[in-house]
Structure 1
């Protein structure tokens, strides 16, 4: 089946359960990990906690977008970014509900939705996204991230894979 075909209504489709569970698990894992790591280790006051030679826990409040670009610390900007995450999540949910795609598509959309909502909650509650995982090696420090960020990246990779796999299937049918 192609992505143009629809399996259900606007809000519930063949794979909606997969999307919902992926989004809920991602959201809970993100919010619980942020709360536990930041509160348990008291990272705001304590600073950096070395876990492994290449892994530290730190607290960074990201008021910008990806990689702290476009720093927007004002509460109105944070609310705007949270609203954007909500609208994007609704659009992704509708895509999932109307798609006859695959479980990979549904899970990928759920990961992105859960991550977007998790980071959106942070923006509304603390005025920015709580990031805490810092990877580094040989003097190079990768950006600081959280569970929601990992879920969003994994979701995008899943969408790319699903698009590639579907394209190959469609090409095989036409040849």
Structure 2
């Protein structure tokens, strides 16, 4: 039976595996979207979800999408910087035997950042293909990398509240 120390020593590999899984799923699904969908084609999946092929030259919600091309390198540089910070943060958590939920959330964000970085460098834009909608109201198109980033961010927020609750309980 593995002890807590051996499980703990496997943690970095599991976290890197989470990041690699997000990257792999992102690249595979983007490849399929590029191969199977025409640009702006709508392929209904459910009454609230469809697939479409869209290209985002900007950041979240197409921020700076029409800026002329320089934003590709700005966002690529930012993604590299954020990736380095996330790797250091994950390693710090591991070395200090810190919070695994926090590290898992960061691994999801890291995988998403690398998935979208790949697109920016290779294609010059991020490939988006998932759209959720209600009637005529739509959420902006996104991809698996974006999902990893959003789920990771939500887990970080949850972890912050969980940590705050613990800190409050110990001070009472």
The CA distance in 1 between the partners of 2:109 and 2:67, in whole Å, is 23
TM-score (norm 1): 0.84
Q: Which of 46, 55, 58 is residue 52 of structure 1 equivalent to? A: 46
**Quick one: distance in 2 between partners of 1:16 and 1:169?**
25
Structure 1: 5+ residue runs without aligned partners? 1-12
Q: CA deviation at 1:80?
A: 2.2
Corresponding residue to 2:19 among 11, 14, 23: 23
Within a 5 Å distance, the mapping from 1:113-152 to structure 2 comes to: 113-152=110-149
Number of positions where the alignment pairs a residue of Structure 1 with one of Structure 2: 161
Greater mean alpha carbon deviation, residues 153-162 or residues 17-26: 17-26
Aligned-pair Cα RMSD in Å: 1.9
Between 1:75-84 and 1:141-150, the stretch displaced more is 75-84
> Aligned equivalents of 2:146 and 2:12: distance in 1?
22
User: What residue is the counterpart of 1:77 in the other structure?
Assistant: 71
Secondary structure of 1:70's partner?
Answer: coil
1:43 shift after superposition: 2.5
Mapped partners of 1:32, 1:113: distance in 2: 17
Match of 2:150 in 1: 153
Give per-residue Cα distances to partners, 1:112-150, cap 9 Å, x unaligned.
Answer: 000001001101111111000111112111110101111
Cα deviation, residue 83, structure 1: 1.8
Q: Which has the higher contact order (CA 8 A, sep 6+)?
A: 1
How far apart, in 2, do the equivalents of 1:104 and 1:97 lie?
14
Q: Is the 8 A contact 1:18 1:106 kept in 2?
A: no
Pick from 86, 95, 118: which aligns with 2:89? 95
